Structure 1
Amino acid sequence: MVALNGQMMRTIQGGIDNPNLTTDHWGYGWVNQFDPSPYVSDTQRAGQATLMAQWPVAANGRVLTGRHLRAHVDDWYHRIHISPQQLDLGNVVSTQTTPVGVWNAYLIPQTLNSITGLDEGIEVGGQPAPPLLFQALQERDWQVTVTPDGQPVLDTVVSWEFDNGRSAGLRITANRIIAWTFVPDWGDGIRERLTALTDILQSESAVSQRRRLRLAPRREFSGPMYADGRERQLLDVSLFGWSDRIWSMPVWPDIQLLEVGIAADVDFIPCSTEHLDFRNGGMAMLRGEDAFTSETVEILEVLSTGLQLKRNTQLAWPAGSRLYPARAAQLMEEPALSKLTDRLIEAEVRFLIVEPCEWPEWLPGTLYRGFPVWDRRPDDSEFLQHSAERMRSTVDSGFAQPLITDTARRALQVLGQRHLDLGRAARALVRSFIYGMCGTQKVVWVPTHMDDLTVVATISSVSTTIDIENIGYTRFGAGKPGRSDIRIELWDGSVFMRRLIGSTEIDGLVERVGLDSALGIEVQPQQVARISWMNLMRFESDTQEIEHMTDSEGVAAWATAFREERDDEF
């Protein structure tokens, strides 16, 4: 049998579902609440006392604590709204205008008394001057304009002050910069310096720990500038007033001429961008035939076909106008001015770029024993440094013969190189390699590119030995680090890299050296272009300098020195 649950229902008393209430309330008759004497019964039942009015009735009062809960209306009304609340304008190189809306979200009118915080170079327009009446729930739009004139670093608040004590503030931050429109003299070229920072701890055995301290190298440009006539006068007053401030410096080697003209008030510049120093959020400069005709624009996006701008251009630019990438930079020192005539001067300027200069890092893809191989052949038109250094410790009392000890017990090679590069791609590759080396932190295998060993007999495809001319290798260098890795280059371009694992003298003319593995092909002596020593090396200095002899489509030179490290031995 199924059990059913239920509940006993009780009846109500006097029609009132509350046993705590007395039924005497029902002793009163109905009264019209609109009667002049409300709530006083005009009907009296037999046996009851005379009814009397006791209005008002006082209750036993007590203090109740509570909290006002916010509602949707509190988020929007009974206040003053401003949109946007902050303008981060970045580098201000031209006049920038931004619409700003102010909304009176009160349900009653409010009066704008004043607008404060208008520093030099900040203008507010688009509405009548205060005092200005805002009707209830009325919104008004202003145009806030920031010009390049004024303090170099702008961080201020423009405030709309109302008569009820409320205000709405707009914070504006910007760096005011002006274009450096003077062109360099390419007779001596432009020098670009990249300076990394590496902390090196080296032991007495020449083993080192190297730490990278900068995310990207500091970047400097220097070169001579000529100014004549009116431009000389402009240079003079510009340096007088702005020499300690931020400039928009064109990256002179990356110059190009516009192939087609562009009209005023456009947001796209068709141009070449590959291997050039354009970047999203960066700047570009357009320049005419003199220093007085220029325009600096901000880049929204770098495309393969050109530059998409944040704001439209202000001027029209014909075909043939100069176009540069531009960087925010500061003069590192006052330029040295040389008077050539009363109208012509030469200025040697040196700029430090004050914004992050990121560039793609690159190291060679060819590996030997787990490390990249930098095998680009250097330019031999000038003498190159090639030496060895030892870590000598000297104890000298001043009386007896000094005691000199080679603590590392080996010679560390120092190898100089100089590269001449033609074209934008080669120049960009060199800069990427400099970035990839991270100053003096990273190591690569570097061949000497010299004829260090000479083959005198055929090398079979399975042979693990090579017969070379006797140069004393068995006596002086056999098995020693720094003289145990070779690069074999054939005339047909084939390259083999091997480690020498032993040697012996055959006679006074021939030595036989052992390889860690066979070449896999037969090689005749006349097929060998050169056999060079290879060493694992890093940059000797954190500072690398590129000499731009012409613009980026022309020639640039880079000279550096490599220093041997022992990373592969441990």
Structure 2
Amino acid sequence: MAVISAFSSQAPLNPSHNPMLSADLEQLDGIVGWPGGQSAVADCARAQLITSWPVEANRQAISAISVNCYSADFYHRIHISPQQLDLGNVVSAQTQDVFLWNAFLEPRTLVDIDGTDEGVLVSGQPSPPLLFPALKELTWQLTVTPDGQPVLDTVVTWEFDNGREAGLRITANRIIAWTFVPDWGDGIVEGLTAATDILQSESGVSQRRKLRGSPRREFNGAMYAEGRERQLLDLALFGWSDRIWSIPIWPDIQLLDAGIAAEVDFIPCSTQWLDFRNGGLAMLRGEDAFTSETLEILEVLPEGLQLKRNTQLAWPAGSRLYPARSAQLLEEPSLNKLTDRLFEAEVRFLVVEVCDWPKWLPATLYRGRPVWDRRPDDSENLTHAAQRLRSTLDSGFAQPLITDTARRALQVLGQRHLDLGREARALVRSFIYGMDGRQKVVWVPTHMDDLTLLAPATAVATTIDVANIGYTRFSNGKPGRRDIRIERWDGTVLMRRIIGATELDGQTERLALDAALGSDLQPADVARISWMNLMRFESDTQNIEHMTDSEGVAAWATAFREERDDEF
């Protein structure tokens, strides 16, 4: 058995004799100790003790600051995570977990959840009022659907009984899928519009500055809707024509080779030369406008699309798959009534997101600049003209004075190209992007029989004899008519500059070149000799006419205008 050494203590407050007091205190009569804990000493009345409670102290103001501690940083408040939710483009219901931690040391009552507008749902816990235990975390599920205001910017607030609040700010753009298909009889026109600032001098020299990072993109076309789809189109335009739509890129359609199940995050498909992009949209469509699903792309892979969220529906083989873009109607569509059940709608969409595309310029160079030597389609009439910078001084009385300030004709050359297949169409778009509107310049041949070779020329020759067309008289090495492209029947090409000309007789002129030909040249070997000019786009707007989908035919018509960059 253990032995513990101890003593019995006695409180100072005791009406009887207190053995804990010293001998001196035993001689006092009155109250001894502290307020609220005095001891009575009444055994001896030899002296009187006077109490002076409370004691006044000299007060002094002290400058100080309150320093937070760990407890003040984390406790006695309501924590919420996340505090802000930027959902971007909402094309389907999106759900996010929201965590609240009651960091008070006592329970709190959740009184209400405010800010749940149309299309914003909060679930996962019983409805308020709700007792929130101390030092406990609860989880809610917040769901944002495409229904509601087109632009969502709201704060969902959890309100508690002590006046404390925890808020979550939500921003999103709600997008509605445009599921009506085009009439391919008239095709779809895609417009790419850059912005270029051009300062041109009287001599024709210009300074060109690109104002947009990438062109604006538009789609124009006719849509047919019949029966119940016509009724859907009528109401959709009535209620939501001013909203942001998710439009499929109709030319880039493909059909699913194999069906996909619901709740999958990968779609096997072709992605090369198509308008899919990381972080972009894709659309699946069934046989009618009522069956569709818009998906968000996490990553574009060579073998398919990795999705941010799983699909909601199962899609059979043969379902239509498109890249999709956020777009807005530029104007109210013109509706043509064909029958009481059939509408034709002319729509014009402006893509409201940045549309980047790989840039490309030809690798073939002449005098340090790319050469656009692709032969145009000649089945339609093309522009081939010249412009002069004329300044007119007219007093209204005498004959006007007209001056050519640049003292030369600047060529304008029209071209039209027909492209077959996705690769060719993607190359044309890359060239349009590479030209940066009217900023960049390339060498462009006329692809016409401008000069006729009359005599053979050796590889070391620096002259050629051509049919007399008055070159010595009218041009003779002047800018704009001094660079030639010699194309052989076997496809090989020579490009040279004319530095002088002489008339040999009424049938022949001799042209001096800046370099030897490098190979023997026979008149029978030459397909054509064409002029070349350094040119830019005449317009910032380039239109691609998609006659069929991207595996079929598209047409692109443009005009080039000569620049004087090579002369300075």
d(CA) in 2 for partners of 1:458, 1:424: 42
What is the correspondence of 1:525-564 to structure 2 with a 5 Å cutoff? 525-564=523-562
Aligned match of 2:175 = 177
Tell me the SS of whatever aligns to 1:530. strand
Query: Residue type matched to 1:358 in 2?
Result: D
Instruction: Return the alpha-carbon distance in structure 2 between the equivalents of residues 386 and 406 of structure 1.
Output: 20
Shift of 1:69: 2.1
1:450: which partner in 2?
A: 448
| Alignment deviations for residues 287-314 of structure 1 (CA, whole Å, 9 cap, x no partner) | 0001111011111111111111111111
Deviations 1:386-424 (A, max 9, x none): 011111111222322221111110000000000000111
- CA change 1:34–1:478 in 2 (3 A) is farther
CA contact (8 A) 1:420 1:557 kept: yes
Counterpart of 1:569, as a letter, is E
Query: Which runs of at least 4 in structure 1 moved beyond 4 Å after TM superposition?
Result: 32-44, 50-61
SS at match of 2:229: helix
Q: Which moved more, 1:556-565 or 1:86-95?
A: 86-95
Deviation at 1:201, TM superposition (A): 1.2
AA aligned opposite 1:89: L
The residue aligned with 1:196 is 194
For residues 234 and 140 of structure 2, the distance between their equivalents in structure 1, rounded to whole angstroms, comes to 38
Q: Aligned partners of 2:10 and 2:567: how far apart in 1?
A: 107
Equivalent residue, structure 1, for 2:123? 125
In 1, the alpha carbon distance for the partners of 2:213 and 2:499 equals 40
* Partner residue, 2:37: none
Distance, in Å, in 2 between the alignment partners of 1:217 and 1:352 is 11
Secondary structure of 1:360's match?
coil
Shift of 1:86: 1.2
Matched with 1:361 is 359
Once the two structures are superposed, what CA deviation does each residue of 1:420-461 show, in whole Å capped at 9, x if it has no partner? 001111111111111111111111110101111111112111
Q: Which residue of 1 aligns with 2:106?
A: 108
CA distance in 1: counterparts of 2:67 and 2:424, whole angstroms? 68
Match of 1:78 in 2: 76
For 2:208, what is the secondary structure of its paired residue? strand
Q: Aligned partners of 2:410 and 2:122: how far apart in 1?
A: 67
Q: 1:374 to 1:53 in 2, by over 3 A?
A: farther
- Give the alignment of 1:100-499 within 5 angstroms: 100-499=98-497
For residue 33 of structure 1, report the CA deviation from its aligned partner.
11
Contact 1:189 1:547 in 2 (8 A): yes
The farther-off stretch of 50-59 and 443-452 is: 50-59
Deviation of the 1:34 alpha carbon = 7.5
1:59 Cα deviation (Å)? 6.2
1:263 Cα deviation from its structure 2 partner: 0.1
Instruction: Judge which range, 228-237 or 67-76, deviates more.
Output: 67-76
Of 504, 509, 512, 2:510 maps to 512
AA of the residue aligned to 1:435: Y
Residues 1:91 and 2:126 aligned together = no
Provide the secondary structure at the position in 2 that maps to 1:356. Answer: coil
After TM superposition, give the deviation of residue 541 of structure 1 in Å: 0.5
Q: What amino acid maps onto 2:82 in structure 1?
A: P
Whole-angstrom distance in 2 between the partners of 1:33 and 1:414? 116
**2:177 alignment partner AA:** A
Give the AA of the match of 1:373. V
Distance in 2, Cα, partners of 1:38 & 1:155: 78
| Residue identity in the other structure for 1:171 | R
Deviation (angstroms), 1:509? 1.2
Secondary structure of the residue aligned to 1:74 is: helix
- 1:30-69 correspondence to structure 2 within 5 Å: 42=23, 62-69=60-67
Letter in 2 for 1:496: L
User: How far, CA to CA, are the matches of 1:495 and 1:140 in structure 2?
Assistant: 75
Q: Which residue of 1 aligns with 2:566?
A: 568
Aligned mates of 2:473, 2:379 — CA distance in 1: 34
Q: Which amino acid aligns with 2:471?
A: Y
Provide the rounded CA distance (Å) in 2 between the counterparts of 1:51 and 1:301. Answer: 95
CA contact (8 A) 1:192 1:221 kept: yes
Paired position in structure 1 for 2:42: none
Q: CA deviation at 1:55?
A: 9.0
Deviations 1:76-95 (A, max 9, x none): 22111111111111111111
**Distance in 1 separating the partners of 2:213 and 2:91:** 27
Deviations 1:104-123 (A, max 9, x none): 11111111110001111111
> In structure 1, how many angstroms separate the alpha carbons of the residues matched to 2:538 and 2:22?
111
The alpha-carbon deviation at position 42 of structure 1 amounts to 4.6
Q: For 1:253 and 1:172, how far apart are their aligned partners in 2? A: 35
Q: Give me the whole-angstrom Cα distance separating, in 1, the residues matched to 2:348 and 2:532.
A: 38
Counterpart in the other structure of 1:21: none
**Alpha-carbon distance between aligned partners in 1 of 2:241 and 2:19, rounded to the nearest angstrom:** 90
Tell me the amino acid that sits aligned with residue 526 of structure 1: A
The structural deviation recorded for 1:200 is 1.1
> In structure 2, what is the Cα distance between the partners aligned to 1:471 and 1:550?
44
The alignment of Structure 1 onto Structure 2 pairs a total of residues equal to 534
1:38 and 1:261 map into 2 onto residues whose CA distance is 98
- The amino acid across from 2:447 in the alignment is H
For residue 11 of structure 1, what is the aligned residue in structure 2?
Answer: none
- Kindly indicate whether the alpha-carbon contact (under 8 Å) linking 1:254 and 1:551 is maintained by their aligned counterparts in 2: yes
Change (3 A) 1:410 1:127: same
Deviation for aligned residue 1:532: 0.8
Q: Secondary structure at the match of 1:340?
A: strand
> Contact (CA 8 Å) 1:116, 1:159: kept in 2 or not?
yes
Given that residues 40 and 53 in structure 1 are in contact (C-alpha distance below 8 angstroms), is that contact kept between their aligned partners in structure 2? no
1:468 & 1:39 partners in 2: Cα distance?
137
Task: Measure how far apart 1:75 and its partner are.
Answer: 2.6
Aligned-partner Cα distance in 2 for 1:128–1:401 = 92
Q: Secondary structure at the match of 2:186?
A: coil
Asked whether the 8 Å contact 1:180–1:248 carries over to 2, the reply is: yes
The whole-number CA distance in structure 1 between the counterparts of 2:79 and 2:102 is 7
Q: Secondary structure at the match of 2:433?
A: helix
Measure, in 1, the Cα distance between the counterparts of 2:543 and 2:193. Answer: 9
Deviation for aligned residue 1:73: 2.7
Structure 1 residues 217-244: Cα deviation after superposition (integer angstroms, max 9, x where no partner) = 1110011111111111111111111111
Contact 1:367 1:373 in 2 (8 A): yes
Distance in 2, Cα, partners of 1:482 & 1:39: 123
Corresponding residue for residue 521 of structure 2: 523
SS of residue matched to 2:566? helix
- Kept in 2, the 8 Å contact 1:110–1:135? The answer is yes
Distance 1:53 1:40 in 2: 18
Instruction: With the length of structure 1 as denominator, give the TM-score of the two structures.
Output: 0.90
Q: CA offsets per residue over residues 496-519 of structure 1, 9 Å max, x none?
A: 111111111111111111111112
Over the residues paired in the alignment, what is the CA RMSD in angstroms?
2.0
Secondary structure in 2 aligned to 1:75? helix
Residue identity in the other structure for 2:203: S
Q: What's the secondary structure of 2:318's corresponding residue?
A: coil
Deviates more, 1:525-534 or 1:64-73: 64-73
Aligned equivalents of 1:247, 1:467: Cα separation in 2: 63
Preserved contact between residue 393 and residue 407 of structure 1 (Cα < 8 Å): yes
Cross-structure match for 2:28: none
